[in-house]
């Protein structure tokens, strides 16, 4: 990823589908953050364009998948830096959701690790958040069919060495559809 410019990274993300996802290999937390920031910029550009053309329909939902300690929160830190520069991003494991409000778009960061059934989502304010800003969720596999119909799917896997990660990004359609 070191040789790819931010514009090349963004272009790969823009044209990705789950049949042909954008795949990146990062070698450090810094590179993973850069990738998160690139996706955030793609999303903000798309939101701005849709609002300018009166085509806004719903805020994007970014569903993160990956095992414990693979770098989901690191990715979110890069993503959130575009929405709220300088924000102290931490995984909301116990609070379930963190809010990063800016003048332009609100960002809501979820950690669904402790969600055990769909009813748990109601008590977190999950459904209200989805309608009021961009949402990014760690442990999305625990959403039990309650993800919005159209999402950005981000999968993070460990690589061959300690710091290497393979990150796959694509637009996806879920079977749910809240």
Summarised one tens digit per residue, pLDDT across range 81-140 is 998 887 778 776 666 688 887 778 999 999 898 888 888 888 888 888 888 899 999 999
Cα separation, 52 vs 165, in Å, equals 36
User: Which superfamily does 6-173 belong to?
Assistant: P-loop containing nucleotide triphosphate hydrolases (3.40.50.300)
Domain borders along the chain are 6-173
- Burial of residue 168 (CB within 10 Å: 0-12, 13-18, 19+) is middle
- What is residue 92's predicted lDDT score, i.e. its pLDDT? 64
Structure tokens at 154: 């981000």
Residues of the chain with pLDDT > 90, as a percent, come to: 50
**H helical segments located in the chain:** 6-14, 29-52, 72-83, 118-124, 126-130
Task: Scan for tokens 């993070």, then name that residue.
Answer: 156
- Which segment of 3-7, 11-15, 82-86, 131-135 scores lowest on mean pLDDT? 3-7
Cα separation, 11 vs 6, in Å, equals 9
DSSP 13: H
Q: Is 66 left (phi over 0), alpha (psi -120 to 50) or beta?
A: left
- What is residue 168's predicted lDDT score, i.e. its pLDDT? 96
Cα separation, 91 vs 73, in Å, equals 6
**pLDDT over 90 at 176, yes or no:** no
In the chain, the N- to C-terminal Cα span, in Å, equals: 35
- Burial of residue 69 (CB within 10 Å: 0-12, 13-18, 19+) is exposed
Q: How far is residue 41 from each of residues 78, 81, 141, measured CA to CA in Å?
A: 10, 10, 25
Count helices and strands in the chain by DSSP H and E runs: 5, 7
- What is residue 131's predicted lDDT score, i.e. its pLDDT? 87
């Amino acid at each position: 990823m070191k040789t790819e410019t931010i514009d090349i990274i963004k272009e790969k993300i823009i044209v990705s589908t789950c049949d042909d996802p954008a795949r990146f290999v990062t070698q450090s937390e810094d590179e993973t953050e850069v990738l998160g920031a690139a996706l955030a910029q793609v999303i903000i550009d798309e939101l701005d364009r849709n609002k300018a053309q009166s085509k806004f329909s719903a805020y994007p939902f970014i569903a993160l998948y990956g095992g414990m300690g693979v770098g989901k929160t690191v990715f979110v830190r890069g993503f959130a830096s575009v929405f709220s520069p300088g924000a102290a991003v931490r995984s909301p494991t116990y609070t379930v959701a963190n809010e990063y409000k800016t003048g332009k778009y609100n960002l809501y960061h979820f950690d669904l690790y402790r969600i055990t059934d769909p009813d748990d989502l109601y008590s977190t304010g999950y459904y209200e958040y989805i309608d009021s800003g961009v949402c990014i969720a760690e442990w999305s596999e625990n959403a039990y069919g309650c993800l919005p119909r159209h999402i950005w799917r981000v999968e993070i896997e460990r690589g061959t060495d300690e710091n290497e990660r393979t990150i796959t990004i694509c637009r996806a359609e879920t079977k749910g559809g809240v």
